[in-house]
Structure 1
Amino acid sequence: MRKVILYGIFWFCFGPLQAQNKADLGELFHELMFGNKPLKTGNLHGHSHNDYKQDIPFLSAYYSGMESIEADVFLKDGELYVAHEESEITANRTLTSLYLEPLYARFVANGYRPFADSTKKLQLVIDIKENYQVVIPALIRQLKPYMEMIDGKKQQQVVRIVLSGDMPKPDHYQDYPDFISFDGRPGVFYRPDQLKRIAMISNSMDAYTHWNGKGILPETDRKEMEAVVQAAKQMGKPFRFWATPDSKNTWIVLEKLGVIWINTDHPLLLNEWLTHLPYNRFRLTTPLSIYQPTYASDGKNRVAKNVILLIGDGMGSGQVKAALSVNHGQLNLSQMRYMGFSRTESANAGNTDSGAGASAIATGQSTNNESISVDTAGKPLLRLTDILAKKGKKNGLLSTGDLTDATPAAFYAANIDRSASEAIAQDLLQSPIAFIGGTQPGFFHDSQKRRSYFQQLRAKGFSVLEDVMQINTQKKIALFLPDSVTRPVKEGRGNVLQRMVSESIVRLKSPNGFFLMAEGAQIDYGGHANDLPYVITETLDFDQAVGEALRFADQDGNTLVIVTADHETGGLSLLDVDEQQGYVEGNFSTNDHTNLMVPVLAYGPGAEKFIGIYKNTALFDKILTAVGVKDE
């Protein structure tokens, strides 16, 4: 597999999740669902427009990480009041009480800097509504008690005071103290000494376009806006549009125009978007190669001898489209012509977990979440692997996750508690599995339990291995890979799943055929973590295993390949896609499973049976029908 070269659009500087080093599955799940991630906003900054209209002025924007906060002011009876219209003036809403005092208190508490995070800066934009000639002197008087907060001669990290609205002409900037900066305007010539006093260049978006933030910015408007932003950049100044629609689509477009200050009336929402950008964006510089099928056996109305079922845990259509886009419009999955959708409800909930989802496929019956291959009363159910073994077929199970986790376990174990790892592992000893490979279960961290279990496996005829390269026997194989080998792709895992698929096929081939289930487990992990680079790199890795299965299906001519998921994780939607650049920006609606239907793709003899929309339990019957065990 060609090396995946990835990087975030701005920062992509993650603290490694180290998901695979968790000794207990519950601990891993809790970390992915609720653990904190290092969040960065990079080169974009938030401007809280008309901040005084917030339910909690200043504090909402400040604790949302806005690095520019705007207050409109009027001078009345010697006091500066914050209001948009003079008629809105109230006695308790002064610039000092709403902004200067709370800002100074935090400045001191942070060790004489605007934020506790020393990398963040802050500017207070004071929009003078009228009569700057009298307002500015009054403002300077009110700022005097806070000079250590605003005067760069006294502190290294200060709050920058920026005047906007009714302002003096550039020729008069020199009449005011150096700690006063100004909000510049496009098309105005500034001498070098005047330019030093300009904090940013701003203008209303309405001056260039009537675009409402939906769909595509008209090309003529885009060029005009881009030109004005670039003109400011040439002066060494950041640009801000005000009167902008407040939406993620708008923010994405503004960023592409080169805007640095993102204007918003909703600082909480903007902060959420800004801080999660490293986890919502991905670019693939070098696309992975894909296999081009021959289609010689595809859709042939005959019984399949072998079945390779590939389950992308947590992989919905959003995950597939994201991977397709970053791989420049090509996937092994996209070569498969027979497609359907699986509904993923469990017996006791609209949203299934992996236990009930995999059990539905493995047994053809709905069960409760948290259970594996038992009915709703806890009674063990007959599994695909049991039925196919009686027909003389060999069975194999593969995963990039814990081999006692729900998806692989549903095909060899039965338990009302999917987290009962040790009990589930005991069921493997009695199962008809001939090849199993994946990550070591958590209880292996207890060396005594690990040695004891290996002895039990060997007594059942298994060759117990810990390295794919050790596979050199035709005996039953239990391949337990260490955490370091099955860490996330974005942390360096190689093509482990693809290699295991290749090696297991060689060992499973028999006169009566075989059934192989291979799981891309960590697509789900990335969904729980709301980490798009994690999701996409795992989906691409899974797709390489799909390519390996398609390649064998063409060589063999009697193999049915099925690709699906047990459920979707994360509620992934795509906000921005560029296939030519191999770039995607997404958005997660949850850190849990959703009720979204998942794709089912099929290739080979019997592939046509998987067209349509059906319950996840239907996959069981369709597979048995495809191999001639059941009539339709």
Structure 2
Amino acid sequence: MTIRTLLACSALLLSACSQTPAPAPEPAETSAPRNIIFMIGDGMGANYLTAYRYFLAEGKQQQIKPTIYDELWTGISSTWPDDQTLVTDSAASATALATGIKTFNGAISVDQQHLPIGTLMQQAKRQGKANGIVASSQVNHATPAAFLAHNKSRRNMDAIADQFFDIRIEGQLVPDVMLGGGLTHFIRDDRNLVAEFQAEGYQYADSWQQLAQLSQAPALALLADGGLPSVLNQEMEAPLQVMTEKALELLSNHPQGFVLMVEGSQIDWCGHANDIACAMAEMHDFARAIQSAKAFVDANPDTLLIITADHETGGLALAADGIYEWRADLIYGVQYTVREITQRMMALEPAELADQWRHWTGLTLDDNQLADVLAVHQQQPELYALLNGYINQATRTGWTTSGHTAADVPVMAYGAGAEQFTGFMDNIDIAKRIMGFIQQSAN
């Protein structure tokens, strides 16, 4: 009997034996939140939350306790795009989360015919609310772009940046606060968008010191040419948390409330790199940003905090090679991303490799491993793969891919209206419920 036949028989049996279920009760009327904080951990599948829990406990060294993710976890979401792949990219999933409509991979809030789809931030602007974007990537990268722009390809990043300024709702710019990276897309030979935003009254910052001095919206901060440096590779502590707190400060006094989208962008980049230490560092920064958002909700109970992921990246597995163990404690010895360690190793003399590897990772190269490193010392891709493999082997971390997977992702909610985000849902359901709140708040 084939699987298809078995499924058909099972369906008939269930149909014959079951009664018509009672209709699901209508959800209780919920007063619309004045403010909405929408946080997206790019690439953050459920296993990332599990890994972070054990990482905080340093493996077996401390008592395992619930994290901020665990405390707020209310449901789970599917993420499939509107094509035949079942595996979404960030653009298609962000479009679903920003508009309540699915589209094809690569699309930025346009449908299959490349026609624009209205976003929840455009809706919020029509209702008189302020909007904010925070990202550790470029502010015009796929996820934030889907909330503000429309393009058939996420790769058209200059055109997307242009739309941040050019798209108007009743004469008003849609974003009131934008904090992140992407300077090279805003100051170009053909256009200086920074100057145009400043002419519209936006305060501007291009350093962390200037960011701290921003005093009111509208405001724009572009803190790197591209994405921000990985948390592991920079001295700035908790950059996403710092930007989130500044955005909340700038938006909090808007009379009609606000919508703020915060993306932990580089969780995904670490997943693509199969770099577990990088991933845990980004998860920690995202967790701290969530703590700040939760504190804002506690002080402002008319605020909804909703957290999810656009997809899972890497197929993260907390155990590998058939060994029932995951060594979260060893992750703490890794001081930089594997990409950074690789570059540093390539700049060393052969005699320095073993000692510096131990210094930067807390791990020891055995004779065979050292010989393999010496053999590819100046070959960047080969050396990267070797060093990354040593860390994953030591920590017993498994990965199934360097791309995305079709795994469902967690949903977390807190504050006004959080009860609407429990159980299983699709990513478009999240957007529809948020857009319903925005519409309800205008009535």
Task: Indicate conservation of the 8 Å contact 1:624/1:630, yes or no.
Answer: no
Match of 1:416 in 2: 152
What is the alpha-carbon distance in structure 1 between the residues aligned to residue 176 and residue 246 of structure 2?
13
Does residue 426 (structure 1) correspond to residue 237 (structure 2)? The answer is no
3-state SS of paired residue (2:178) = strand
Are 2:410 and 1:599 aligned?
Answer: yes
Q: Which residue, out of 81, 91, 101, partners 1:346? A: 81
Q: Partner residue of 2:425?
A: 614
Summarize deviations over 1:153-199 as a string: whole Å, max 9, x none: xxxxxxxxxxxxxxxxxxxxxxxxxxxxxxxxxxxxxxxxxxxxxxx
For the pair 1:541 / 2:285, whether they are aligned, the reply is yes
Partners of 1:310 and 1:519 within 8 A in 2 = yes
The equivalent residue for 1:440 is: 182
Matched, 1:478 2:220: yes
2:242 maps to 1:507: no
Q: Which residue of 2 aligns with 1:530?
A: 274
Residue matched to 2:120: 384
1:49-198 matches, cutoff 5 A: none
Aligned residue type for 1:317: A
**Aligned counterpart for 2:193 among listed residues 434, 439, 453:** 453
Question: Could you tell me whether the CA contact under 8 Å between 1:528 and 1:592 is conserved in 2?
Answer: yes
Structure with greater helix share of residues: 2
C-alpha contact (below 8 Å) 2:131/2:174 kept by paired residues? yes
The partner residue of 1:491 within 233, 239, 253 is 233
**Partners of 2:231 and 2:239 within 8 A in 1:** no
Query: Letter of the aligned partner of 1:458 in structure 2?
Result: Q
Q: Distance in 2 between matches of 1:420 and 1:475?
A: 27
1:511 deviation in Å? Answer: 2.1
Report the Cα distance in structure 2 between the residues aligned to 1:342 and 1:441, rounded to whole angstroms: 33
Note the C-alpha offset of 1:559: 0.9
Instruction: Find the partner of 2:38 among 304, 309, 318.
Output: 309
Tell me which residue corresponds to 2:98.
362
* TM-fit CA distance, 1:506: 1.4
TM-score normalised per structure 1: 0.50
CA distance in 2, matches of 1:305, 1:447: 37
Between the aligned partners of 2:183 and 2:225, the Cα distance in structure 1 is: 10
Deviation per CA, 1:543-595: give whole Å up to 9, x if none: 11000000110011111111101111001111134678888642110000110
Matches for 1:206-221 after TM superposition, within 5 Å = none
Q: Is the 8 A contact 2:274 2:314 kept in 1?
A: yes
When Rg is computed on C-alpha atoms for both structures, the one with the higher figure is 1
Equivalents in 2 of 1:383, 1:391: separation in Å?
13
Segments of 5+ residues of structure 1 without an aligned counterpart are 1-298
Deviation at 1:469, TM superposition (A): 3.3
* 1:74-108 per-position Cα deviation (integer Å, ceiling 9, x unaligned): xxxxxxxxxxxxxxxxxxxxxxxxxxxxxxxxxxx
In the alignment, which residue of structure 2 is the partner of 1:629? 440
8 Å Cα contact 1:402/1:442 also seen in 2: no
Q: Does 1:467 align with 2:207?
A: yes
> What is the identity percentage for the equivalent residue pairs of Structure 1 and Structure 2?
34
Q: How many angstroms apart in 1 are the aligned matches of 2:118 and 2:269?
A: 29
The 10-residue stretch of structure 1 (386-395 or 581-590) with the greater mean CA deviation from structure 2:
581-590
Cross-structure match for 2:401: 590
Structure in which a larger fraction of residues adopt strand = 1
CA distance in 2, matches of 1:594, 1:306: 32
Q: Would you say the 8 A contact 2:205–2:214 is kept in 1?
A: no
For 1:531, give the aligned amino acid. D
Equivalent residue, structure 2, for 1:184: none
CA contact (8 A) 2:36 2:259 kept: yes
SS of match in other structure, 2:271: helix
Deviations 1:486-511 (A, max 9, x none): 21111124211111111111111222
Normalising by structure 2, we get a TM-score of 0.70
Asked whether the equivalents of residues 325 and 582 of structure 1 are also in contact (C-alpha less than 8 Å), the reply is: no
Q: How far does the alpha carbon of each residue in 1:259-305 deviate from its partner, in whole angstroms, 9 at most, with x for none?
A: xxxxxxxxxxxxxxxxxxxxxxxxxxxxxxxxxxxxxxxx9943211
Query: Quick one: distance in 1 between partners of 2:80 and 2:226?
Result: 34
1:128-168 deviations in whole A, cap 9, x for unaligned? xxxxxxxxxxxxxxxxxxxxxxxxxxxxxxxxxxxxxxxxx
For 1:321 and 1:380, the matched residues in 2 are separated by 37
Instruction: In structure 2, give the amino acid aligned to 1:618.
Output: D
SS in 1 for 2:176: strand
Among 278, 299, 306, the residue aligned to 1:562: 306
The CA deviation string for residues 466-488 of structure 1, in whole angstroms up to 9 with x for no partner, is 12432333241111002599211
Change (3 A) 1:432 1:365: same
Instruction: Give the secondary-structure state (helix, strand or coil) at the position aligned to 2:440.
Output: coil
Q: Kindly indicate whether the alpha-carbon contact (under 8 Å) linking 1:403 and 1:441 is maintained by their aligned counterparts in 2.
A: no
The CA distance in 2 between the partners of 1:393 and 1:585, in whole Å, is: 47
| Deviations 1:11-52, CA, capped at 9 Å, x for gaps | xxxxxxxxxxxxxxxxxxxxxxxxxxxxxxxxxxxxxxxxxx
Partner of 1:28: none
Partner of 2:150, secondary structure, is coil
Higher relative contact order (Cα pairs below 8 Å, separated by 6+ residues): 2
The alpha carbon displacement at 1:605 in A equals 1.3
- Conserved? CA contact 1:300–1:607, under 8 Å: no
The CA distance in 1 between the partners of 2:230 and 2:314, in whole Å, is 18
